[in-house]
Amino acid sequence: MQNLYLRHFKSYTATALMLLATLIVLTPLCLIFIHILKMGFSSLSLDFFTQIPKPTGESGGGMANGLFGSALLILLASCLGLPIGVLGAVYLTEFNGGRLATAIRFSADVLAGIPSIITGMVAYTLLVLPMKGFSTLAGAVALSLIMIPIVLRTTEEQLKMVPGTLREASLALGVPLWRTSLKVILKSASKGVVTGILLAIARVAGETAPLLFTALGNQFWSRKLTEPIAALPLQIFSFAIAPYEDWHKLAWAGALVLVVIMFTLNLGARLLGRQKRYS
């Protein structure tokens, strides 16, 4: 047996090292946060929300078209991806198909880890090549491909937590299974499902890589779904790597807006998730 003091000394040292590691981890993350707040607020103005980017060399301008584009892309992607994700999860919980269900779960998890740029390439071959042009539609499909596995898995987790007695009670009253699933199971898990959906939207809202060669980006407003469209993350990217001080400022403002959107969605999801636990 080692000396008791030595053992305590070792323990305290280990604890101190863990504290140190935590501080090291938090430092760059806090720095990023502080920079976004500082630079973002100093460059944010009303123009940001109402103007489109000015041509190279002119100062001012905003990212109104990017904000609109992002909103439209997310809306379209949600219309495509959410029904598939949610109803697919209903299948996994209601008709637990043994091996097939396991295979689906596993692929969903694996799919969620595939780099988003690959999703963009696939959407490119599926939509941009046949349609002979970059489009809003292709961007939305790329985003929905990212949403589906996330929504599927989070929804399934929530549906699994609905007590079996609820299902049995409904079936015993003669309600068909499909109505039971939709009106009883899905409804009683709705808060948790919405939490998952919000998180999926938050994840997709910041995606840049899959949009690079699907939505492509646009300096102006986009009028048709078959035209390239601007998106907030795309604009942040192209403005950040451009050599102009003015554009860097706009990129910081865009970053601040994007982070606020993300945190709002995440906080909303968290609050909903917490409420669920009490009820």
Partner 1 sequence: MQQHDSAVLKKIMATEAETSCAVRSGAHGDRIFRWLTFLFAAAVLLILGLMIFEMTKESLPAITKFGWGFITGSNWDAVQGDFASLPFLYGSIVSSILAILLATPLSVATALFITEVAPKRVGGMAASLIELLAAIPSVIYGLWGVLVMAPWLQQTVQPWFVEHLGFLPFFSGAPYGVSMMAGVLILAIMIVPIITAISREVLLAVPQSQREAAVALGATKWEMIRIAVLPYGRSGVLGGVILGLGRAIGETMAVTMVIGNTPQISLSLLSPAYTMPSVIANEFAEATNALHSSALMEIGLMLLVVTLIINALARLLIWKVTKGQKGGAA
Residues 66-125 that bind partner 1 (CB under 8 A): 83-85, 87-92, 94-95, 97, 101, 103-104, 106-111, 113-119, 121-122, 124-125
Binding mask 28-47 for partner 1 (x = CB under 8 A): xx-xxx-xx-----------
Stretch that binds partner 1, among 44-52, 60-68, 69-77, 244-252 (CB under 8 A): 244-252
Cβ proximity to partner 1: between 189 and 212 the closer is 212
Residues between 205 and 234 with contacts to partner 1, criterion CB under 8 A: 205-209, 212-213, 216, 233
Shortest separation between residue 11's beta carbon and partner 1, angstroms:
4
Report the alpha-carbon distance of residue 1 to residue 90 in Å, rounded.
57
Quick one: which of 200, 247, 189, 243 has its CA closest to 66?
247
DSSP 170-234: HHHTT--HHHIIIIIIHHHTHHHHHHHHHHHHHHHHT--GGGTTTTB--SS---STTS-B--HHH
Check residue 271 for interaction with partner 1 (CB under 8 A).
no
Size of the site for partner 1 (CB under 8 A): 93
**Amino acid letter, 44:** L
CB of 217 closer than 8 Å to CB of 153? no
Check residue 139 for interaction with partner 1 (CB under 8 A).
no
Check residue 276 for interaction with partner 1 (CB under 8 A).
no
Quick one: which of 209, 234, 206, 205 has its CA closest to 78?
205
Shortest separation between residue 157's beta carbon and partner 1, angstroms:
11
Shortest separation between residue 195's beta carbon and partner 1, angstroms:
13
Shortest separation between residue 120's beta carbon and partner 1, angstroms:
8
Residue 114 gets which letter from DSSP? Answer: S
Cβ proximity to partner 1: between 76 and 234 the closer is 234
Check residue 169 for interaction with partner 1 (CB under 8 A).
no
Per-residue burial over 54-74, b = 16 or more CB atoms within 10 Å of its CB, e = otherwise: beeeeeebbbbbbbbbbebbb
**Amino acid letter, 249:** K
Q: Which of 76, 145, 150, 193 binds partner 1 (CB under 8 A)?
A: 145
Shortest separation between residue 104's beta carbon and partner 1, angstroms:
5
Q: Alpha carbon 131 to chain centroid distance?
A: 27
CB of 65 closer than 8 Å to CB of 222? yes
Q: Which of 37, 64, 162, 259 binds partner 1 (CB under 8 A)?
A: 259
